[in-house]
Chains A and B, each alone.
Chain A
Amino acid sequence: MGKKRKLMKVYPIEENCVSCRYCEVACTMVHSKSKDPVKAYKLENLLPRATVEVKGAVSLSLMCRHCKHPFCFDSCISGAIQVDENGQVHLDEEKCVGCWNCVLVCPFGAAHPYVSEEKRHSFKCDLCGDRGFPACVEACPNRALVYDYER
């Protein structure tokens, strides 16, 4: 049977979250072309891959869990979603055809739809693969997000 996976992912700690949404801003910025938080929202119409949820006193930031059994992978009709040998779940936005199956089945609501005039595809947390370290974790002033080995 498969050996233990060596995967690091982002863990939310709801006790520490004050819903400042710095993680959302950082996420949008690093995934933008301009690398500017305002331009990313306003001009590039980008949306964060981390979602801060708030209800009364509880809040937390949620992003793709890179599930051990990713339902998004089962459901993906284009082959855009793939799992690598470490268990990281990748979504190729170019290959995606925007069928929304992953949005329909992700138990965490972590695969999001993106619709614009020219494009439609889904998007989700990529663990900042290009950057080496998740920007949301860096941006969080309250240690409400930690980057840690899979449990």
Chain B
Amino acid sequence: MKYVIVGNSAAAVGCITGIRKVDKESPITVISYESSCYSKPMIADVLIDIPQEKLIYRDEKFFEENKVELILGHRAVKVNTDSKVVVLDSNELVPYDKLLISTGAKPFIPPIPGADRKGVFTFTELSSALAFKDYIKKNGVEEVVVVGSGFIGLEVAYFLAKIGVKVTVVELLERALAKALDERSSQIVETLMKEEGVEFIFKDSVAEILGDEKVSSVKLGSGKVLKAGAVVIAVGVRPNTELAQTAGVKVNAGIETDGHMETSVKDIYAAGDCIECLDITDGKVKPLPLFPLAFEQGFVAGLNMAGKEMEYLGGLPLNSLKFLPVPVLNAGIVTPPDSSYEVFVNDRFEEKGFYRKAILKDGKLVGFVAVGQIDRVGILTNLIRQKIDVSPVKERLVELDFGLVDLPQWWREEKLKQDKTAYKDWRAV
């Protein structure tokens, strides 16, 4: 058996871990055009001069111990499914028996005139983060415009403000992180960002990026012009499905996979930001580009590739605004789509510094928000995952001391006494 993994990040490491649970010996080859296995969620930290070795997610020892051969600095350009080989940009052929595609996501760049000027960046790879940092240093950039107020945009804006750069976030919608957070937590985040010096312009967009060779300002849809020595475009990412398409794999919003993370083509699996996945909180299949999910999908793919059948539990939105001094966590649905949902709120942010909100549907938790005090909220995440009936304790869900004593006794019996904590044990009840 020969395993090949394209990509060398969260999903790939999950896959290696999964394969090695079952098959300790067969060769694994990892292909990536990047030169190291770094932590992608941590790349914005380069702005505040994190030492590069701190960004390493898995070091050489990990790959050695797991008997993984690394082909770094090369792009996989094609998968030939007849001869079962991956073709590299060097024309080298890498044969596989089981292949994982974990090519991640690509930044979405809206068609803004002038977006090809020097000084316009995206922020989804270490190289782009480093290039951006280098540019603002070399050019003594004092003003940056960030397009989009998603997680990446806000994180970049926050760190820029921290190092004394004047930064303005331009957002088409009426508030920050409008797609991921509810109104209250989004307002809290906005306040925290403003305290650090970040400015916001809502309900507006960048119509044109102006300048000569290099960007010097941006023109907004409203006609307003903002000085900008550099621009960061962070309006979201899209699954990177190019390689999958060369294999004839079925692609919708992202690569389609079955419950075993196998694609429509036999022996080709996919995991991470390049796929579309089932969101168990609303039943929709969509891209959910999140680190924990990428790892878990890779892990499940790895088990199945190595012959141990395992069904993926399904994904859900899981966010932490890790750069803020006040923790902001959320999972699942944060704003009820209609009146069939029940909502509980415990807002003590002004007096006590915390805010909690729980959203239920048919007696089951489908989402929550926790700001300030976040200890033990993973219990809530699991209630969403396991779809446990919480109607007897629904008012308690937003209390800080909500705990396992609030769960049914059978749950504690099963999880604590009988140690049912294997992957399959976390299925919905």
Query: For residue A106, which residues in chain B have a CB less than 8 angstroms away from its CB?
Result: 378-379
Whether B39 and A78, one on each chain, are in contact in the complex, defined by CB atoms closer than 8 angstroms, is yes
Inter-chain contacts of B57 with A (CB < 8 A): 77-79
Which residues on the A side are within 8 Å of B162 (C-beta)?
Answer: none
Does the CB pair B421–A104 fall under 8 Å? no
**Which of these binds chain A: B27-35, B234-242, B247-255, B400-408?**
B400-408
Chain B residue contacts of A14, Cβ below 8 A: 412
Contact status A68-B419, CB under 8 Å: yes
| B residues near A107, Cβ cutoff 8 Å | 378-379, 381-382, 385, 415, 421, 426
Give Cα A54 to B389, complex, Å: 21
Tell me which of A65, A99, A103 contacts B421 (CB under 8 A). A65
Q: For the complex, what is the distance from the CA of A32 to the CA of B41, rounded to whole Å?
A: 31
CB-based contact A69/B291 at 8 Å? no
User: B42 to chain A: closest CB distance in Å?
Assistant: 6
Query: Are A68 and B422 interface neighbours, CB within 8 A?
Result: yes
B299 at the interface (CB under 8 A from A): yes
Distance A69 CA – B421 CA, assembled complex (angstroms): 6
Which chain A residues in 64-104 approach chain B with CB under 8 Å? 65, 67-69, 71, 74-75, 77-79, 97-104
CB-nearest residue of chain B to A151? B419
> At the interface with chain A, which of B180-188, B194-202, B369-377?
B369-377
Residue A129 lies at the interface, judged by CB distance under 8 Å to chain B: no
Partner of A109, one of B45, B318, B403: B403
Q: Is B299 within 8 A of A101, CB to CB?
A: no
Interface string of B261-273 (1 = CB under 8 A from A): 0000000000000
Size bracket of the A interface: 35 or more
Count the B residues whose beta carbon is within 8 Å of the partner chain — how many?
47
Give the contact stretch, choosing among A20-28, A38-46, A55-63, A134-142. A55-63
Among A97, A100, A150, which residue has the most Cβ atoms of chain B within 10 A? Answer: A100
| CB of B77 closer than 8 Å to a CB of A | no
Q: How far is the CA of A89 from the CA of B382 in the complex (A)?
A: 19
Knowing A51-B376, A107-B378 are in contact, say whether A74-B295 is a contact too (CB < 8 A).
yes
A36 on interface, CB distance cutoff 8 Å = no
What residues of B have a CB within 8 angstroms of the CB of A102 in the complex? 378
Q: Interface digits, B297-323 against A, CB 8 Å rule (1 contact, 0 not)?
A: 001000000001000000000101010
Q: Is B429 part of the contact surface with A, judged by Cβ < 8 Å?
A: no
Q: Are A113 and B375 in touch, CB under 8 angstroms? A: yes
Verify if B130 is at the interface (C-beta below 8 Å from A): no
Q: Which of A74, A75, A101, A106 has its CB near the most chain B CB atoms (within 10 A)?
A: A74
B417 interface residue (CB < 8 Å to A): yes
Instruction: Using known A-B contacts A11-B417, A59-B405, A109-B378, determine if residue A100 contacts B322 with beta carbons closer than 8 Å.
Output: yes
The reply to whether B423 and A109 form a contact with Cβ atoms under 8 Å apart is no
With A79-B39, A100-B322, A101-B318 known as contacts, the answer to whether A112 contacts B291 (CB < 8 A) is: no
Distance in angstroms between the alpha carbons of A32 and B382 in the assembled complex = 31
How far apart sit A75 and B376, CA to CA, in the bound complex (Å)?
A: 15
CB pair A53 B401 closer than 8 Å = yes
Q: Among residues 385 to 422 in chain B, which have CB atoms less than 8 Å away from a CB atom of chain A?
A: 385, 401, 403-406, 412, 415-419, 421-422
CB pair A55 B406 closer than 8 Å = yes
Residues of B within 8 A of A53 (CB): 401, 403-405
Q: Min CB distance, B177 to chain A, in Å? A: 16
B292 within 8 Å of A (CB atoms): yes
* Closest partner residue, chain B, to A67 (CB atom): B421
The answer to whether A60 touches B412 (Cβ under 8 A) is yes
* Least CB separation from A149: chain B residue: B419
Query: With the chains together, A149 CA to B39 CA distance in Å?
Result: 35
- Judge whether A104 and B381 touch: CB under 8 Å: yes
The answer, yes or no, to whether B58 is at the interface (CB within 8 Å) is yes
Is A37 in the interface zone, CB < 8 Å from B?
no
The minimal Cβ–Cβ distance linking A130 to chain B, given in whole angstroms, is: 23
Instruction: Identify B42's interface contact among A12, A54, A78, A111, CB under 8 A.
Output: A78
Given A59-B405, A101-B292, also A109-B416 (CB < 8 A): no
Smallest Cβ distance from A15 to chain B, in angstroms?
A: 11
Q: Report A-chain residues with C-beta under 8 Å of the C-beta of B291.
A: 75, 77, 101
A108 within 8 A of B: yes
A145 to chain B: closest CB distance in Å?
11
Check B415 against A55 for contact (C-beta < 8 Å): no
Q: Find out whether the CB atom of A100 lies under 8 angstroms from the CB atom of B376.
A: no
Check if B322 sits within 8 Å of A1, measured CB to CB: no
Known: A97-B42, A105-B318, A109-B403. A151 touches B418 (CB 8 A): yes
Q: How far is the CB of A147 from chain B (nearest CB, A)?
A: 14
Contacts of B425 in A (CB 8 A): 68-69
Cβ-defined contact, A62 with B320, below 8 A? no
Q: Does B367 make an interface contact (CB < 8 A)? A: no
Closest to B307 in A: A1
List 15 contacting pairs A-B, 8 Å CB cutoff, sorted by A: A1-B22, A53-B401, A55-B406, A62-B404, A65-B415, A68-B419, A75-B292, A78-B39, A78-B57, A104-B320, A104-B329, A107-B382, A109-B404, A112-B376, A151-B417
B interface with A by C-beta (< 8 Å): 14, 21-22, 39, 41-42, 45, 56-58, 291-292, 295-296, 299, 308, 318, 320, 322, 327, 329, 331, 374-379, 381-382, 385, 401, 403-406, 412, 415-419, 421-423, 425-426
Question: Besides A11-B416, A77-B42, A97-B42, 6 other CB < 8 A contacts?
Answer: A97-B322, A104-B381, A107-B381, A111-B378, A113-B327, A151-B418
